[in-house]
Amino acid sequence: MSRHKVEICGVDTSKLPVLTNKEMRELFKQMQNGDYSAREKLINGNLRLVLSVIQRFNNRGEYVDDLFQVGCIGLMKSIDNFDLSQNVKFSTYAVPMIIGEIRRYLRDNNPIRVSRSLRDIAYKALQVRDQLTNEHSREPTVQEISEVLNVPKEDVVFALDAIQDPVSLFEPIYHDGGDPIFVMDQISDDKNKDYQWVEEIALKEAIHRLNEREKAILSMRFFEGKTQMEVANEIGISQAQVSRLEKAAIAQMQKYVQVNL
């Protein structure tokens, strides 16, 4: 997201009006009396609020125009639902609603599909986290969030993890002027360890030492998924013979692999 972009969605952000508290209250009164033009003035007079909020999401790789439009939806909802009788600044009321609208948009457009129940738990957990942070001036623990929600802490952790944005394995995490270190460099690969490589070679050699009928039986049983009866019918022997040959071949392979590892 560019911080120097002047025009967003066809709006020249450098020329956006700013309303005083007195002007805001007067416009809200007019709007509640049915003056639709007052609502338009309230929206235009608070677009800078949307701009300030979307700066928090500038590392998501989303188009700034899209975030701005979604933020405007949150702004309009907050304008339509704001209660003048409450002794609260409009910005205090509007910012969480704008943030919530953007977060819902990001979650719903996540390339990894998350169930609605998990999204609901995560959304409520984020709200409780913000609430507890404001109350105690510190980040709450998962246990504290789960107690407020009356949800097991394991479910809270799982839900919050589920809505996290995926990270590319080629995302650089460190760069000191030389070759960068990527996420994939920090992940171990159990499939490429030396002992497994040697084990695979030993297994292939053990199979190679079987006779052709034993190889055929193991191939049909474990690679083609056939039953012993199906193998017996195809080869022309009894199921009991297939069972004995299969067990003998496996035992022979196990003995060879154990000796050569």
Within-domain flag for 184: no
The phi, psi pair for 191, rounded to 5°, reads: -80, -10
- The predicted model scores a pTM of 0.43
**pLDDT of 76:** 92
The phi, psi pair for 7, rounded to 5°, reads: -105, 125
**pLDDT of 148:** 92
Distance CA 128, CA 100 (A): 12
Which residue is associated with the tokens 């120097």?
Answer: 4
CATH of the domain at 245: 1.10.10.10
Examine the pLDDT at 102 and tell me if it is beyond 80: yes
34-86 per-position pLDDT tens digit? 888 989 999 888 888 888 888 888 766 677 888 888 999 999 999 998 888 87
Examine the pLDDT at 239 and tell me if it is beyond 60: yes
On whether both 83 and 134 belong to a single domain, the answer is: no
Within-domain flag for 175: no
On whether both 79 and 150 belong to a single domain, the answer is: no
Tell me whether residue 147 is exposed, middle or buried, using C-beta atoms within 10 angstroms of its C-beta: 0 to 12, 13 to 18, 19 or more.
middle
**pLDDT of 3:** 43
Mean pLDDT over 167-173 rounds to: 61
Within-domain flag for 178: no
Mean pLDDT over 198-203 rounds to: 69
**pLDDT of 147:** 92
**pLDDT of 66:** 85
In total, how many domains does the chain have? 3
Q: What's the pLDDT band for 17 if we cut at 50, 70, 90?
A: confident
On whether both 12 and 67 belong to a single domain, the answer is: yes
Choice among 194-198, 235-239, 255-259 with the minimum mean pLDDT: 194-198
Within-domain flag for 101: no
Within-domain flag for 203: yes
On whether both 15 and 69 belong to a single domain, the answer is: yes
Expressed as residue numbers, the domain containing 36 is 1-89
Examine the pLDDT at 232 and tell me if it is beyond 50: yes
Distance CA 219, CA 237 (A): 16
Mean pLDDT over 181-189 rounds to: 59
On whether both 3 and 41 belong to a single domain, the answer is: yes
Distance CA 122, CA 151 (A): 11
Q: Which of 105, 80, 104, 107 is nearest to 94 (CA)?
A: 80
Within-domain flag for 98: no
On whether both 9 and 72 belong to a single domain, the answer is: yes
Within-domain flag for 160: yes
Q: What's the pLDDT band for 188 if we cut at 50, 70, 90?
A: low
Within-domain flag for 84: yes
> How many alpha carbons fall within 13 Å on the CB side of residue 218?
21
Tokens of residue 211, six digits: 């006779």
